[in-house]
Amino acid sequence: MRINLSTNGIKNFYLGTDLHVAAINGDLVEVERILAEHPEQYKQITRSERGGWDYVRLSCSRATALHYALIQQWYSIAERLLQHTDCPIIINIANSAGASILNLIVLLPDREQALNLAKLALDIKGIQVNNVNSNLFSSPLYHASEMGNLEMVRLLLDRGADPNVVGGIHVRESLLNHLAEKLTHTDDIAKINSLNAMILLLIDRGADPKRFGQSGATFFDDVIGKKDIESKLDPKIKERLQDIWKISSAEEITKAKEIYWALQPFAPDTGESFQSPSLEDTALLVNLKKERKRAKRSDYDCTVLYDREHRFIYQICKTTL
């Protein structure tokens, strides 16, 4: 998001330098002059802003001239500043909003320019690819995934980004779970395809579908049997998860039905007219992760019958089969 900031505001309120002013104004000639005559300004940051949630103030505080150029989307100036010999010194600085330089690059609207700048940044010695800040920003990979930028996601993963990353302060959720949630809330075919491609890539690169998210559920828990998600899921994802996701055999269904009927009198909120699920409706038998430990410190080493229409069967058999 571009911001309006006067020279007076930069120099007097944020205590910025002439280089900050030139960077935010998009003046490449002036940037080159200042770098030649006052090279020390390259490493200087504006004063820190503490407290409050004003995005402009937080973005402009504790920021380098490179931050300013990226905020204003001056691509040629950002490229020049990324190529500076002192860039390793400033590359991991996050402004008061929590945005690192790589964060701001990933969030640029021009994807081709963003990809080119990201490649430059990722070549800088010492860059922290998994930088996660506690303020307004998550990791670069998290933001790239949210934006549906598959090429950026692939680049970040190639350079060591953690596919099991958890979001920042506003989205304290594992990335796979977060993408599953986004899949729930869209019927747009292009977005569904993009999310599936993202999920598939992350799983192929080591994202753990059995890792617990903020709610205590895994990605697998979040998608299994939920019509608004599972029906949108690429079959290739199920193939990748075949060790924990398989179609029920007739024998397994029969056994599960016997257990169901034995437990039926003890099931809560179940009327006498409740019918056993048909073989057709009984969709999946799931091998859950062995030795799962939930909040109650219970270990799970079991198979689970899941029926799309009768969710409580899943809950009963989850702890019984």
- The tens digit of pLDDT for each residue in 203-259 reads 999 998 888 777 667 887 778 767 778 889 998 988 887 776 655 556 655 665 666
Q: Mean pLDDT across the stretch 31-60?
A: 88
What kind and span of H or E run contains 299?
Answer: strand 299-300
State the pLDDT at residue 172: 67
Least confident residue range of 47-56, 232-241, 275-284, 289-298 = 289-298
**Among the listed residues 302, 316, 222, the one whose alpha carbon sits nearest the alpha carbon of residue 264:** 316
Burial class (CB in 10 A: 0-12, 13-18, 19+), 118: buried
Q: What angle do CA 99, 101, 106 make, to 5 degrees?
A: 85
Separation CA 48–CA 14 (nearest Å): 8
Please, which residues bridge with residue 282 across strands?
Answer: 307
Average pLDDT, the chain: 79
Contact between 305 and 285 under an 8 Å Cβ cutoff? The reply is yes
- What pLDDT is attached to residue 304? 44
* Six-digit token string for 136: 């307004």
Q: Which amino acid is at 124?
A: I
160 Cβ contact partners less than 8 Å away, ≥ 6 residues apart:
129, 130
Pairing state of beta strands 292-293 and 282-287?
Answer: unpaired
Q: What is the pLDDT of residue 138?
A: 83
Q: CA end-to-end span of the chain, whole Å? A: 53
Determine the average pLDDT of the residues in 32-40.
98
- Beta bridge partners, 245, equal 286
Which of the residue ranges 87-91, 192-196, 303-307 would you say has the lowest mean pLDDT? 303-307
For 305, the token pair is 């019958």
Q: What is the pTM of this model?
A: 0.75
